[in-house]
Amino acid sequence: MAPGIGINIYVIQIDSIPAVFGVTRDPLIILSSNIFAISGLRSLYVLVSESMGELEYLQVNIHNPLSFLRFLELFSIYLSILNI
């Protein structure tokens, strides 16, 4: 599995922390929600990594949309298309 996918999982989770602060200020809820989200993403990561033998182009094709989403999340401050 490409190392970029594992990095994308954690970048997406770190970027979701401000969204949780919009809902609550309780540190226990913030910590537990991020732990459960990371564990859920890790289980999907295991599922995809086990099916890599059957899906030969998945590694190449899944990296591009995830990298694009990571770019949008990291630079959403500077991009006006994401403002509602």
Here the tokens at position 50 are: 């086990």
Q: How confident is the model at residue 83 (pLDDT cuts 50, 70, 90)?
A: low
Q: How many CA atoms lie within 13 A of 16 on its CB side?
A: 16
Relative orientation angle of helices 58-74 and 3-15, to the nearest 10 degrees: 30
Angle at 21 between CA 20 and CA 24, to 5 degrees: 85
> What is the residue extent of each domain of the chain?
3-78
Residue type, 84: I
pTM for this model (two decimals)? 0.46
* Residue 13 pLDDT greater than 80, yes or no: no
Residues 22-79 have pLDDT tens digits of 888 898 988 888 888 877 777 777 887 788 788 777 777 888 888 888 888 888 777 6
**Contact between 52 and 31 (Cβ < 8 Å):** no
